[in-house]
Homo-oligomer: A and B are copies of this chain.
Amino acid sequence: MNLDALLHSELDDCVKGLPPAGAPVRLGDIGRRGWNLLKGDLPLPVAVIKRSAVDHNSRWMRRFLEMTEARIAPHGKTTMAPQLFAKQLADGAWGITVATVGQMTVCRRFGIGRVLLANQLVGRQEIETVLQELRRDAAFDFYCLVDSIDGVRRLTEAARANPAGRPLQVLLEGGFAGGRTGCRSTDEALAVARAVAAAPQQLALRGVEGFEGLLAGGTPAEQDAKVAAFIDYLVEIARLCAGEKLFALGPVILTAGGSAFFDLAATRLHNAVAPAGVEVVIRSGCYLTHDSKSYRDLVARLMERMPAAKSLGEGLRPALEVWAYVQSRPESGRVIATMGKRDVGFDVTLPVLEQWYRPGAHPVPQRADDLGTVVALNDQHAHIEVPHDAPFQVGDMLAFGVSHPCTTFDRWQLLYEVDEDNNVIGAIRTFF
């Protein structure tokens, strides 16, 4: 499969969000059907991406990376959309980050040459799949994480039993107490690094990795200080590994920076030094579509933290919306809409009512920011508290901004790209 084949692939009427009367349709033809969201051409709920906002965010990130001299390997798990990966690579992304070997396989099917598995590689099946792919394509540039001597031993044994023809490139993961994966101390980290360096036929230590996004608690300033200290800890691990000459040939890759603190990663990781230089790689997955709540708030803080970012012009714009109908207003203060846990993320905060539109009455969608609050989601319903005099009636369309794009993308195999007038100008397939 490549992108061209994907665009030629046919979607049938069992794909959620596709109008049955419009199916089957080739993915690449959807933008030419003349569909418009506001005309009721799409069955609701649907998820839409504003292409202009994605283009804007894309440009913003390019300028951010130029300014900070960092690279990006955007986390593919956010969208799992090869069409968006292609856009990110065309924008100059260093590679694509993934969380699982299955996600790596999707990247490989779409010809992506450099993949960073930001995770430990475990499991017979999984390790074999990676080694096989390295064997099959000598140009495949793959990295995964290690954070334990046990894990290193398993990779070494697998690679010895099933040689890939070249060492498996690994990044040493630093972590923090109470956090997720990663070595908790420089001593632990060095011990793991030495175990990697002791198996040079099988493994190559290419850099240091960490994920700061789960460092929580305290005031914003305290949290920023924690993140900065953690990034500095990664730099210290790199310094110690370089001092013991544990890194394999080539520039040392230093990577951290999810979608909330990538400024701190992009700037502070440059403090590391290595004989062959360092390559700083951030991994934000959410910048492309941004969101209306969780990352909106986090990136607003980023902009305060980094005054230089303001020189890049308008910041990230939310690009992702889910639309649903009012199906009932059973009490004057309560609206029920045709959107539920199956359709929108709810893991960080509930979705945010932003616009409404009455077919046949409104020329364009109206702002609805103060007209209602989503208070609960069931599998297939949203409960919205509204003022008693709110204007909504059955059949009105409601647009919701999302919080945390990852858990909205994974609810759709098909998302529509729309222009400013909600004309459907394209469609995006995901692979979750």
A153 → chain B closest CB, angstroms: 9
Min CB distance, A18 to chain B, in Å? 8
Q: Most B CB atoms within 10 A — which of A20, A128, A175, A177?
A: A20
Complex partner residue of A394 from B154, B179, B182, CB under 8 angstroms? B154
Stretch at the interface among A47-55, A101-109, A247-255: A101-109
A364 within 8 A of B: no
B180:A325 contact, CB within 8 angstroms: no
Can you pick out 22 interface pairs between chain A and chain B where the beta carbons lie within 8 Å of each other? A17-B102, A40-B123, A77-B380, A99-B380, A100-B380, A119-B327, A119-B380, A120-B327, A120-B338, A122-B338, A122-B394, A147-B328, A148-B328, A151-B328, A175-B330, A180-B330, A180-B378, A180-B381, A181-B327, A182-B330, A341-B407, A342-B410
Is there contact, CB below 8 Å, between A13 and B105? yes
Judged by a CB distance under 8 angstroms, whether A43 is at the interface is: yes
Contacting A40 at CB < 8 Å: which of B44, B124, B341, B346?
Answer: B124
Q: Taking the nearest CB of chain B, how far is it from the CB of A320, in angstroms? A: 16
Which residues does chain B contribute within 8 Å of A21, judged by CB atoms? 125, 128-129, 132
Chain B residues in 8 Å Cβ range of A13 = 105, 109
13 more contacts with CB within 8 A, not counting A20-B105, A413-B432, are: A14-B109, A16-B432, A40-B125, A100-B338, A120-B394, A122-B394, A123-B325, A147-B330, A148-B394, A180-B336, A180-B378, A181-B381, A410-B411
The answer to whether A102 and B180 touch across the interface, beta carbons within 8 angstroms, is no
Residue on B nearest A17 in the bound complex, by CB: B102
Q: In the complex, which residues 347-386 of chain A have their Cβ closer than 8 Å to any Cβ of chain B?
A: 347, 359, 378-381, 383
**A interface residues, how many (CB within 8 angstroms):** 79
Query: How long is the Cα–Cα vector from A8 to B138 in the complex, in angstroms?
Result: 35
Q: How many copies does the complex hold?
A: 2
In whole angstroms, what is the CA distance A129 to B378 when docked? Answer: 24
CA distance A334 to B99 in the complex (A): 20
Question: With the chains together, A227 CA to B354 CA distance in Å?
Answer: 35
In the complex, per-residue mask of A312-336: 1 if CB is within 8 Å of any chain B CB, else 0: 0000000000000111111100101
Contact between chains at B43 and A123 (CB < 8 Å): yes
Smallest CB gap from A132: residue in B: B21
Decide yes or no whether A421 CB sits under 8 A from chain B.
no
Q: A325, B122: Cβ atoms under 8 Å?
A: yes
Give Cα A431–Cα B148 distance, bound, in whole angstroms.
39
- Top-9 shortest CB links A-B: A40-B124, A99-B380, A120-B327, A181-B328, A122-B325, A150-B394, A43-B125, A20-B105, A14-B431
Q: Chain B residues with Cβ under 8 A from A39's Cβ?
A: 124
